[in-house]
Each structure stands twice: as C-alpha cells, then as structure tokens.
Amino acid sequence: MEPDDLLRSLYPAAENLPKDILLQGPLRKVGSFPKRWQPRFFILTRKELRWHLPTEETVVEGRPRNAVPISSIRAVTPVRNFKTLFGGSASNSFSMVVFNEGRKKEYYMAADTVAEMNQWVSTLNERIQEVRG
C-alpha cells in the first residue's frame, strides 16, 4: 500500500491532504519553547515536509503546524550523543538544517526505531538531491 493510500484509509475524510505523499508517520520533534520532545505527525511530499499536531482533526483538515519547502532544506543527518542536549535518544535522532529567507534554523527529530530514522534521513536526502538536480 502506498503511503498516501494508508493515510487516506485511516482518515477517509482527508480530502485536504496532499496527493503526492512520499513518507508519513509519527516522529518526536524538539519544540522551540519549551525545549522538549513533542509528538508530531509528519508528512513528506514532493514539495515540502509538513508536520501536524498528532490529532486526527489537524491531519484530516490539512492544517499543518509548520511546513518547510524541500528547496530550503540543506542537510539531514543522524545526530550522535543527542541525549546530552535534550534528554532524547541518540540512536534514533536526526537533524535537519533549513535556510529560509536568509536565516538558518536547525530542527531535531526522533523516530521510534533506528530503521525508521534511517528511512526518514535517506528519503529526505534523496528528495533534496532530486530538487537540486
């Protein structure tokens, strides 16, 4: 089953969802304030990475908490010793460096498993390379 088919089967009323979902699923993200792990539902499309509060309403209604164009993402890499920074697990954390309107921002996310983290990192990096040509 394709990623977007899975999400649509879980939320049949999700007509506001993007049509080109490449990867989706729950991740934890370090919030701006307070600096702690917060659950989010992430959706990667051909154009952007968006995240939603982990409630059916925000996902189904298509209201992302934030969205980052793939063209703004400069690097996605696994993070070592991340637990020393925010109390998360180092084995399944990764960072994403974004440049938008001349400003640099670094996001930190964590998956439930190393395999899931590797899938997000590799899929994001593949998409970044496709966009850059």
Closest CA to 49 of 88, 107, 5: 107
Q: What is the pLDDT of residue 96?
A: 94
Alpha helices in the chain (DSSP H): 3-10, 56-60, 83-86, 114-132
Sign of torsion over alpha carbons 114, 104, 32, 7: negative
Task: Spell out the per-residue pLDDT of the chain, length 133, in tens.
Answer: 444 454 445 444 445 566 788 999 999 898 877 777 888 999 999 999 999 887 766 666 667 889 999 999 999 999 876 664 566 556 788 999 999 888 999 999 999 898 999 999 999 999 999 998 8
DSSP at 83? H
- The two three-digit tokens of residue 90, written as one number: 């180092």
Residue 118 CA to residue 9 CA, distance in Å, equals 25
Whether residue 68 contacts residue 109, with contact meaning beta carbons closer than 8 Å, is answered with no
In residues, how long is the chain? 133
User: Is the domain defined by 3-132 classed in CATH 3.40.50.300?
Assistant: no
